[in-house]
Amino acid sequence: MRLPGTLLLCSLSTAPAFAAVDGVVLAGYLLDVSTGNYQRDQALLLDGERIVSIVPAAQAPKLPNTIDLSDAYVLPGLIDMHVHLTSDPTKHGYRALAETPQREAIFGVKAAEVTLKAGFTTVRNLGAGGFADVALRDAINDGETPGPRMRVSGPTICMTGGHCDNNLLPHIYRAQSGGVANGSDEIRSKVRENIKYGADVIKFTATGGVMSKNTDVNAAQYSQAEMQALVEEAHDRGRIVAAHAHGLIGIKRAIRAGVDSIEHASFVDDEAIALAKQQGTYLVMDVYVSDYILAEGEAAGILPESLEKERAVGQVQRQNFKKAVQAGVKMAYGTDAGVYTHGLNARQLSYMVQWGMTPLQALQSATLHAATLLNWRDHNGTLLVGQLKAGAYADLIAVPQDPLTNIKVLEQAPLVVKGGQLVSTGE
Ligand code: ARG
């Protein structure tokens, strides 16, 4: 038994003061996203990808590996909780039929880089055929291609003919999407299968959708028992669950089943908002995308029936977003990029401000609150993303103006640091 060695290792790992510092980021104005306060002239001390401590800049060691942002506003890298990096926003409807998961993964390589350069250092990818998202995540993690940290779902799970299924072709083609499962037992095995092939999170559809053929946004998909089985199975495996839901019955069923987030939540009412508050369920409301769908829709191949549905959903969703903000329900930032152009993820921030949030609340939804919903932590329980604290990844962005005064400054490409490495200097 090599006891002295063990003791040495223990003392090193519990005493961050002795940890190696191999990089420094100087921050002129460092935003604490939990309070909205700036600290002047700070230095983030790094050990590889992680922050080990934050000290006044004057006390920072002089290291060759220093990123000097002493003139800039520095905040955590942004998080988008609802993207489809492997989806091409110009190929909707029948155009999407010509796509393969392999082609989609290759498309995703560009989309990932563009998203990272837009200041989004973490994304949650909610739905990709053939596990194209797993391939992309792993290529990014292996350093083969630049991109945000990805937490991925694999194929969306839904009932036969549901929002995730392929409803475009007549029955002679026997087209069925990879995530289709019916009944509690099949749903449980689909959750297990998704996890087996690399899913970090589970996504399912609890109602019809805008972009799918022949589904009703108001109609629930899956029974209470089916949703409960899905959530129980996912939570047993330590995976959070995201439920796509526009209509009220599906929203309420999914909240009662214990999902972690409701995506879209378009027709959420006071009762459902109260239920979400009581259960601690997050709402992830994509209040920008409607503008793209209605403006570009036809040119992008979006089905006429989808445009019709969007007209019924878009504005109501924004009004309900305002109600939900006022009621104080938990909210995380999710845009549905992939339905619209990748890299424009920050556009939604000003929409959220227009529809009732303060700039700080909007920023919190895209940092701390998104990270808390993701629940991605190290062994000490420290969140790995969403805040600049000891233990977290050194994922940050820098902008020339105070985003709390002008949230739109985040729409211009910021300087981006991911894992302590400068990945983009912005425009
Ligand atoms: N992926 C979503 C769906 O097909 C897009 C909804 C977009 N519309 C909106 N107003 N959020 O249902």
Q: Is 338 in the pocket of ligand 1 (CB under 6 A)?
A: no
| Closest ligand 1 atom, residue 313 Cα | 10
Q: Is 263 in the pocket of ligand 1 (CB under 6 A)?
A: no
CA–CA gap between residue 369 and residue 330 (Å, rounded): 8
Q: pLDDT per residue over 186-227, tens digit each?
A: 999 999 999 999 999 999 999 999 999 999 999 999 999 999
Q: Is 57 in the pocket of ligand 1 (CB under 6 A)?
A: no
Cβ atoms of 73 and 29 closer than 8 Å? yes
Q: Which of 164, 221, 336 to mutate to test the pocket of ligand 1 (most atoms within 8 A of CB)?
A: 336
Say whether pTM exceeds 0.85: yes
Question: Mean pLDDT of successive 10-residue segments in the chain (427 residues)?
Answer: 39 51 97 97 97 97 96 98 97 96 98 98 98 98 98 98 97 97 98 98 98 98 98 98 98 98 98 98 98 92 96 98 98 98 98 98 98 94 96 98 98 97 92
CA–CA gap between residue 221 and residue 331 (Å, rounded): 23
| Closest ligand 1 atom, residue 212 Cα | 4
Q: Which of 115, 232, 96, 82 is nearest to 175 (CA)?
A: 96
Distance between Cα 231 and ligand 1 center (Å): 23
CA–CA gap between residue 305 and residue 320 (Å, rounded): 23
What per-residue confidence (pLDDT) applies to 4? 39
**Distance from the first to the final alpha carbon of the chain:** 57
Question: How many Cα neighbours within 13 Å face the side chain of 207?
Answer: 25
Q: Which of 126, 203, 285, 286 to mutate to test the pocket of ligand 1 (most atoms within 8 A of CB)?
A: 286
**Side chain identity at residue 64, one-letter code:** P
Distance between Cα 416 and ligand 1 center (Å): 29
What per-residue confidence (pLDDT) applies to 149? 98
What per-residue confidence (pLDDT) applies to 19? 67
Query: Residue 77 has what DSSP assignment?
Result: P
Q: Is 210 in the pocket of ligand 1 (CB under 6 A)?
A: yes
Give every strand in the sheet of 261-264, ordered side by side: 202-205, 241-245, 261-264, 282-284
For residue 418, the cross-strand partners are 421
CA–CA gap between residue 44 and residue 23 (Å, rounded): 8
CA–CA gap between residue 204 and residue 21 (Å, rounded): 43
What per-residue confidence (pLDDT) applies to 319? 98
Q: Which of 168, 212, 251, 289 to mutate to test the pocket of ligand 1 (most atoms within 8 A of CB)?
A: 289
Parallel, antiparallel, or unpaired: how do β-strands 23-32 and 66-76 relate?
parallel
Q: Is 313 in the pocket of ligand 1 (CB under 6 A)?
A: yes
What per-residue confidence (pLDDT) applies to 50? 97
Q: Is 123 in the pocket of ligand 1 (CB under 6 A)?
A: no
Report all structural domains of the chain as residue ranges with CATH numbers, in order of start: 5-77+387-424 (2.30.40.10), 78-354 (3.20.20.140)
Distance between Cα 66 and ligand 1 center (Å): 43
CA–CA gap between residue 168 and residue 165 (Å, rounded): 9
Active-site pick, 203, 252, 309, 418: 203
What string of DSSP letters covers 86-147?
T--TT--GGGGGG--HHHHHHHHHHHHHHHHHTTEEEEEE---GGGHHHHHHHHHHTTSS--
**Rounded to 5 degrees, what angle do the CA atoms 254, 258, 263 make?**
50
What per-residue confidence (pLDDT) applies to 297? 84
Element housing 361 (H / E): helix 359-365
Distance between Cα 209 and ligand 1 center (Å): 6
Catalytic residue check, 190:
no
Cβ atoms of 340 and 292 closer than 8 Å? yes
What per-residue confidence (pLDDT) applies to 7? 39
| Closest ligand 1 atom, residue 285 Cα | 11
What per-residue confidence (pLDDT) applies to 2? 39
Nearest CA to ligand 1 atom 8: 290
Catalytic residue check, 286:
no
